[in-house]
Chains A and B, each alone.
Chain A
C-alpha cells in the first residue's frame, strides 16, 4: 500500500493506493500516529484503494474517533468493493463518506 499526502495548513488529504489488510494496516496506523499534528480536517481519498479487511477497519475506526475530537474525517471516492465492505459491517453509518 502507498500513502501519499497533501497538506494545506490544518487540512490533510491522504491518498491511499493498494490494499489495507493485516500486513499493511500497521503502516497506516503508524502514519496517523505521526502525521496528524495540527490537523483539523482529514480527508481520505479512497479511489485507488482496492481492498480492505477488518485490520483496515480497525485503523479507520481509531482515526475516525481521534478526528471526531479534533475536527473531522471524510472519506471520498470510495470504490464499490470497499463500499460494500463498509455496508456489510455498518461502517457506512459510522464513517463520513462523501
Chain B
C-alpha cells in the first residue's frame, strides 16, 4: 500500500494522476483511464468544497492485490458523504442537462465498489476496482 498526501487544490491534480498512473503501471490502459477519471472527480470535489476557509490536504492511498485495487481518499474538511448525492438524470437533453453531480456519478459508474465513512474527523472514501 502506498500513501501520499496532497494539498487539496486543483494544481495538485497532475501529481495526483501521475501518482495513480505510477502505482497502476502494467494495468490495462482503459482501467487506468477510468480510475484516473474517478480519482480526478473526487479529488477536485474535495479541492473545491471541503475546505472553504483554509488550505487543506487529501490523504490518498492505493493498494494493489493482484488484479484488485483499493483506493482511499481521506480529507478533514466539512463532513460530506458524496455517495448520498442523488444521481443526475443522464437522459436529459443538452438544454436540460446539469453538470453538477456528474463527477460523483462517473466515479460510481467506473469503480466496482465505493464506501464512505466519517471517522476521527475525516471523510474517508474507499473505492475498489478490478481488471
Q: A residues within 8 Å of B by Cβ? A: 21-23, 50-55, 57-58, 61, 64-65, 68, 80-81, 84-85, 88-90, 93-94
Q: How far is the CA of A80 from the CA of B93 in the complex (A)?
A: 23
**Most chain B beta carbons < 10 A, residue from A21, A22, A23, A84:** A22
Chain A residues touching B, majority SS: helix
- Chain B contact residues: helix, strand, loop or mixed: helix
- The reply to whether the CB of B29 lies closer than 8 angstroms to some CB of chain A is yes
When chains A and B are docked, how far (Å) is the Cα of A55 from the Cα of B37?
Answer: 10
The answer, yes or no, to whether B1 is at the interface (CB within 8 Å) is no
Are B95 and A65 in contact, with the CB atoms below 8 A? yes
B102 touches A54 (CB 8 A): yes
CB-based contact A94/B94 at 8 Å: yes
Sampled A-B contacts (30; CB under 8 Å)? A21-B13, A21-B40, A22-B13, A23-B11, A23-B13, A23-B14, A50-B33, A51-B36, A53-B40, A53-B41, A53-B103, A53-B106, A54-B102, A54-B103, A54-B106, A55-B44, A58-B99, A61-B97, A64-B94, A68-B94, A81-B29, A81-B30, A88-B90, A88-B110, A89-B106, A90-B90, A90-B92, A90-B97, A94-B93, A94-B94
| Cβ of B124 to closest chain A Cβ, rounded Å | 22
B25-49 vs A, Cβ < 8 Å mask (1 yes, 0 no): 0000110011011001100100000
